[in-house]
Amino acid sequence: MQKRILVVTQHFWPEAFRVNDLVEGFVQDGLAVDVLCGLPNYPAGEWFAGYRYSGPRKESYKGAAVYRAGEVRRKGNGGLRIFLNYVSWPFFALFNLWRLPGGYSAVLCYNTSPVLMSFPALVYAKLHRVPFTNYVLDLWPENLYSVLPVKNRFLRRAARAVSDWHYRRADKLIAMSPSLKERLVQRAKKPEAAVAVIPQHCEDFYAVPLPDPALAARYASRFNLVFTGNFSPAQSLPTVIRAAVTARAAGAERLQLVLVGDGMSRGELEALVRELGAEGTVSFAGSVPPADIPRYTSFAAGLVASLSASPDLGLTVPAKLASYMAAAKPLLASMDGEGAAAVAAMELPARARTQTSPAQDAAALAENMLALYRMSEAGRAELGRRAFAWYQAHYRRRAVLDALENFIL
């Protein structure tokens, strides 16, 4: 008999999240999959083309049935709008549980922010006595504080209590790193066996070069360092911009930072570039579909990832590291914790600490940018080969799908 999985996640296709590829993989493996999700408006806060609050509410994606519940869009990405977005989708999703056909062998929540996203999954699983697994990608309430600066002690205690309540009521939890597993075991009071470490995978298309001569010509004759992804406070992109300006002033005359993506910090970043007079150093390429990212990584001399200085952000490995490694290009990581350790582990001993630097340390990142700029092409190619080998060993889609299916079913 065919097994059926319910995947619950606020963010789903056409928004660019790896859960899209997981759902496709589940279907390819012969599972019947239903998805309960929101209406696409992330990260810019505007409805995607063809969508509005009224729907569509039922679609199909790669063989999976998609059920959409309403939400307050993030328009403007201000604190109030983000808060309303966080609380509205779980609320509206509860009133859409009746639409689901049922018969599930497992319920899986792909739990990015907020933790409240898991509440409708939890309710459905308990009502129907179905095993519930929460895939914890953003630890709450800590991740909340990287977006909204909550200072009130009462609110912080309440947020911690609500988060722990959700984690404890899942039957199983999935963590992206050993450090996050340790934290979840403590917070959720779970036995070790109930919490698995399964990293985010990398979609296979990131490993296939996609040269675009016309696009590459726009950035020709420059030493292009590329960042791809969401522009949010957690990414600490001002650090990257300041580092690029410093490195260029120190001798990397051809260096150009190409920022591919969008998000709540876009306006702040553009203002910083103007303030620094860095229009010739920093280029905003805009948001592109995930499948087009290899068009940008193909012409990159190096790929940059960064996080804010936070012990809690250091518990996770940013998903973009896996896609960067698959592109077989040198990485520059400005972050602490598990992400930095993943990059440091693949560094050449002779070049130790030239690819990683502490979070929010623009001077140290600038030094690494300058070192990469001055490195021979053969040296950069070797860094790319090591990155690709690390991707093959740790982040292949097939291995992650097998681990997920074995754990949740």
Structural domains for the chain: 4-197 (3.40.50.2000), 204-394 (3.40.50.2000)
Rounded to an integer, the average pLDDT of 389-393 is 87
Question: Is residue 301 predicted with pLDDT exceeding 90?
Answer: yes
Separation CA 409–CA 310 (nearest Å): 34
Strand partners, 6: 34, 107
Residue 140: which residues within 8 A CB-CB, separation 6 or more? 113, 114, 115, 159, 163, 166
Contacts of 353 (CB under 8 A, 6+ apart): 344, 347
What pLDDT score does 244 carry? 96
pLDDT of 153 above 80: no
Residue 281's Cβ-side half-sphere holds a number of Cα atoms within 13 Å equal to 23
Is residue 121 within a helix (H) or strand (E), and if so which, with residue range?
helix 119-128
pLDDT in tens, 159-210: 788 888 999 999 999 998 888 888 899 888 989 999 999 988 888 888 888 8
CA 206 to CA 400: how far, in whole Å?
16
At 349 the pLDDT is 54
pLDDT average, residue stretch 225-251: 93
pLDDT class of 353 with cuts at 50, 70, 90 = low
User: Mind giving me the DSSP string for 144-174?
Assistant: HHTTS----HHHHHHHHHHHHHHHHHSSEEE
Query: C-alpha 283: how far from its chain's center?
Result: 22
pLDDT of 352 above 80: no
pLDDT of residue 239: 96
Of residues 64 and 146, which shows the higher confidence score?
A: 64
Residue 203 near residue 324 (C-beta atoms within 8 A): no
Taking residues 199-223, report their average pLDDT.
87
pLDDT in tens, 327-345: 999 999 998 888 888 887 7
Q: How confident is the model at residue 395 (pLDDT cuts 50, 70, 90)?
A: confident
- Residue 174 bridge partners (DSSP): 135, 196
d(CA 121, CA 125): 6
The answer on pLDDT for 402 being more than 90 is yes
Percent of the chain with pLDDT over 90: 57
pLDDT at 143 over 70: no
Tens of pLDDT along 60-100? Answer: 999 999 999 999 988 877 778 888 888 899 999 999 999 99
pLDDT reported for residue 317: 81
Indicate the SS3 state at residue 257.
strand
Task: Report whether 192 contacts 223 (CB < 8 A).
Answer: no
Is the pLDDT at 144 greater than 70, yes or no? no
Which tokens in the block code for residue 367? 């030094």
pTM: predicted TM-score of the whole model, two decimal places: 0.78
Average model confidence (pLDDT) across the chain: 89
Query: What percentage of the chain carries pLDDT values higher than 70?
Result: 96
Write down the pLDDT at residue 69. 96
Coil vs helix vs strand at 107: strand
> For residues 402 and 73, what is the distance between their CA atoms, to the nearest angstrom?
34
